[in-house]
Amino acid sequence: MIDYDSMSFNELISGQIMRALTDHDPQFGELSHDQVANRVTRYCFMGALAKINGLSFFPKVAEFCDGSLHACCDPTVLTRGLFSPLSITGDKLIVAVANPWSPLPEEYLAPRFPELELVKVVTLASEISRAIESVATNSGPSRSELEAIDVEDSDDGIRDFDVTTEHSEPMAQLVATVMAEAVKSRASDIHFKVEKESFYYAYRVDGDIGHKVEIPMKLKDRLDAFLLNLMKLPTEIRATAPGISGRFTISYFHRPIDIRYERHRTYRGYHITMRLLDKSNINVTLGKGTLAFDEETLFELNKVMKVPAGIIVMSGPTGSGKSTTLNAILRELNRPDVNILTLENPVEDEVPGITHCDLKSPKEFKPMIASFMRSDPDIILMGEVRDIESAELAIEAAVTGHKVLTTIHTPRASQIIERFEQLGVERWKIAQTLKAACAQRLVKLLCPYCKEAAPGISEHDRRTFNLDDSWASIPVFSAKSGGCAECRNSGYSGRTAILEIIPITPKTSDMLSKGEISPYDLEIKIQQEGKLPNLRRSGLRLLREGKTDIDAIAKVIDMTYTDE
């Protein structure tokens, strides 16, 4: 795989690039993929990308950028996506891109310029940055003028740890290599574990922990100390605290990525889990990417978003994409006439126009919410309901006419009400304020390059997962054992979200308050009606469409029973 100028290309595209470079200069045919970045000039490399895609290459475009086109664009999105609208010629919008294969320019610009045909030209990533900066603002002091102002140096923060540069210190180089590979693999977590006779790390990609990579045992204390130092925590804390939480930021090709750190003591040493919050890879657009829900789910989700006040709760296990979906909902609700405040730990996805607040410690929760209520909010996002205090504050906010979005850990949507009761909230309170109970899962998708066809589901699996006999003849697909190069030998490539929604209507709310119906009875009633999105039905729909297999579904949904 070729990594060049903040862009990564898979094996297939890397092969095409190498052939184009070799056609230009036969000497390039002798280069390995990791030598390209240092041996091929930017002009030559970008020219090859343009040639492969049949596009024109313009090394200088910043001077031709029409600043008025940026009025409806977020410069952060343009910078991260390495593209910029340049000008309008007739019915065509000329767009400069650094990565011709990226779908982001079309996805982002098409809705903003619906009547224009997008025509792409290839240019340098640095030229796109120049184009964006040249039209970013023409009022007030420039960025360089502001940077030139001398202020007292009070560097309370931690400088980003650059993982894409060479480090002279071996431990720094080890950590940089591990983290760079994690970002490249789009891992959600990195695990470091000390066991009786081994010390190793592993990545969680698409929900699964991959193979273990062993590290010499003698390095465990040095690595532990290095990571604590990144967060400016004293090394002595290892012996005094059973659990250590922290955060730091790494830089991957000048792209900041937040790392949420958690360490706890084990019998043989320690276990470190680091969650990667790579905001550039977060796809938070409803109906697209990871959140490509079917039309039925999108319709019901849009109905939920129309509720003027009350609580919308998203449930599911850790890593099921609850926060991502809520952020996507916030983007849909974000308008100039609406004041949206969020309280998160940590802030995972900054949305322009929304006030994000970072919860530094649990003690800040109550005063922050109290401050929120006096800040004239229309919509409040609470990262998670964890205890009686946060549950009651969410209800108080909803009772006073606010729309509240939050998450909670329950296996099923109907158990959200019971979870609030376990925390100490009376049922009538939650029944009167809860407007929608949602449950979400992320299902692995089969690799389109190597998935294998099967004539149907075996009798054993039909009995195990309560599937009727029609599944014996429905064509399905399964993951290839050992996968292929495109899916990193896993058989799967990416995940998609499926959602279950239980709306709480005024009539349902009254029945729940009076005890005339239990949350479970309500779930069964809605399932039998078959009108609302349901986890089991959505999973089987993906199976029928050949997008996943029964093993991937059974891993995230309990398929061993059915109440329908």
CATH number assigned to the domain comprising residue 330? 3.40.50.300
Q: For residue 490, is it within any domain?
A: no
Cα(136)–Cα(480) distance, rounded to whole angstroms?
48
Q: Are residues 299 and 397 in the same domain?
A: yes
Q: What is the pLDDT of residue 334?
A: 87
133 and 273 part of one domain:
no
Which of 221, 249, 280 delimits the end of a domain? 280
| Spatial separation of the C-alpha atoms in residues 359 and 408, rounded to whole Å | 17
User: What confidence score (pLDDT) does residue 159 get?
Assistant: 64
Query: Is residue 93's pLDDT more than 60?
Result: yes
The phi and psi torsions of 492 (rounded to 5 degrees) equal: -125, 155
Tell whether 180 and 114 lie within a shared domain: no
Q: Which of 195, 247, 212 is nearest to 361 (CA)?
A: 247
Question: Which range marks the domain in which residue 549 is found?
Answer: 289-445+495-556
Question: Is there a single domain that holds both residue 186 and residue 77?
Answer: no
E-state strands within 77-162: 83-89, 92-97, 117-122, 161-162
390 three-class SS: helix
Q: Give the whole-angstrom CA distance, residue 256 versus residue 279.
A: 8
The pLDDT confidence band at residue 43, using thresholds 50, 70 and 90, is: confident
**Region 60-87: what's the mean pLDDT?**
84
Looking at the predicted structure, is the pLDDT value of residue 446 above 90?
Answer: yes
- Can you list the positions of beta strands (E) in 123-180? 161-162
Q: Residue 294: inside a domain, yes or no?
A: yes
C-alpha distances in Å from residue 120, one per residue of 83, 105, 400, 452: 9, 9, 50, 36
* Domain termination site, one of 245, 280, 315: 280
Q: How confident is the model at residue 157 (pLDDT cuts 50, 70, 90)?
A: very low
Q: Which residues contact 101 (CB under 8 A, 6 or more apart)?
A: 9, 13, 53
The reply to whether 523 and 431 lie within a common domain is yes
Given the structure tokens 């390059």, which residue do they identify?
449
Instruction: Find the mean pLDDT for residues 202-209.
Output: 90
343, 260: one domain: no
Asked, as a colleague might, if the bond just before 346 is cis with ω within 30 of 0, I would say yes
Distances (CA, A) of 373 to 24, 312, 345, 379: 64, 18, 19, 10
User: How many domains are contained in the chain?
Assistant: 3
Percent of the chain's residues with pLDDT above 90: 31
What average pLDDT does the segment 221-246 reach? Answer: 88
8 falls in which pLDDT band (50, 70, 90)? confident
With a pLDDT cut of 70, the percent of the chain lying above it is: 91
**Residue 101 covered by a domain:** yes
Which pLDDT score is estimated for 288? 64
**Alpha-carbon gap, residue 176 to 182, rounded angstroms:** 10
- Mean predicted confidence (pLDDT) in 487-506: 88
Cα 500 to Cα 300: distance, rounded to the nearest angstrom: 10
Between CA 149 and CA 159, with CA 153 as vertex, the angle to 5 degrees is 105
pLDDT band at 153 (very low <50, low <70, confident <90, very high): very low
Are 303 and 427 within one domain?
Answer: yes
In 395-522, the DSSP E strands lie at 403-408, 434-446, 452-454, 476-478, 492-503
| Mean predicted lDDT score pLDDT of the chain | 84
* 274 and 375 together in one domain: no
Q: Enumerate the H helices of 190-346 as residue ranges.
A: 220-230, 237-240, 295-305, 322-333
Going by pLDDT thresholds of 50, 70 and 90, the confidence category of residue 73 is confident
Determine the Cα–Cα distance for residues 463 and 469; give it in Å rounded to an integer: 9
Query: How confident is residue 206, by pLDDT bands cut at 50, 70 and 90?
Result: confident
Banded model confidence at residue 457, pLDDT cuts 50, 70, 90? very high
- Return the pLDDT at 289: 63
Q: Give domain status of residue 217, yes or no.
A: yes
What is the structure's pLDDT at 559? Answer: 85
**Which of 194-203, 339-348, 429-438 shows the lowest per-residue confidence on average (mean pLDDT)?**
339-348
Mean pLDDT score, 542-555:
93
- pLDDT reading at 517 higher than 60: yes
Exposed, middle or buried, 527 (CB in 10 Å: 0-12/13-18/19+)? buried
Three-class SS state of 404: strand
Residue 451 lies in a domain: no
Are residues 372 and 331 located together in one domain of the fold? yes
pLDDT at residue number 295? 82
Determine whether 427 is exposed, middle or buried from the number of CB atoms within 10 Å of its CB (0-12, 13-18, 19+). Answer: middle
Would you say residue 145 lies in a domain? no
Does 144 have pLDDT greater than 60?
A: no
Residues 249 and 293 in one domain: no
Q: How confident is the model at residue 7 (pLDDT cuts 50, 70, 90)?
A: confident
Q: pLDDT confidence of 202, banded at 50, 70, 90?
A: very high
- The mean pLDDT of 459-466, rounded to a whole number, is 92
Q: What is the CATH number of the domain that holds 70?
A: 3.30.300.160
Is residue 477 in some structural domain?
Answer: no
pLDDT of residue 550: 94
User: Is residue 479 in some structural domain?
Assistant: no
pLDDT at residue 357 is higher than 50: yes
Rounded Cα distance between 13 and 34, Å, is: 14
What integer pLDDT is reported at residue 137 of this predicted model? 43
Residue 265 host element (H or E): strand 255-265
| Amino acid in position 187 | A
Q: What residues contact 238, with CB distance under 8 A and at least 6 apart?
A: 224, 228, 244, 270
Please check whether residues 259 and 294 belong to one and the same domain. Answer: no
Residue 140 has what pLDDT? 42
- Please give the average per-residue pLDDT across 224-242, as a whole number: 88
Q: Of 280, 312, 330, which residue constitutes the final position of a domain?
A: 280
Instruction: Assess whether 120 and 238 both reside in one domain.
Output: no
| pLDDT (0 to 100) of residue 80 | 78
Band (133; pLDDT cuts 50, 70, 90): low
Largest CA distance in the chain: 80
Bridge partners of residue 473, in order along the sequence: none
Asked if the model's pLDDT at residue 149 lies above 70, the reply is no
**Tokens coding 354:** 């929304």
For 45-188, list the strands marked E by DSSP.
83-89, 92-97, 117-122, 161-162
**Cα 312 from Cα 304, distance rounded (Å):** 8
- Decide if 298 contacts 117 (C-beta within 8 A): no
Euclidean distance between CA atoms 198 and 268, whole angstroms: 10
pLDDT on residue 480 = 92
**3 state SS of 264:** strand
Q: Tell me, what's the pLDDT at 154?
A: 38
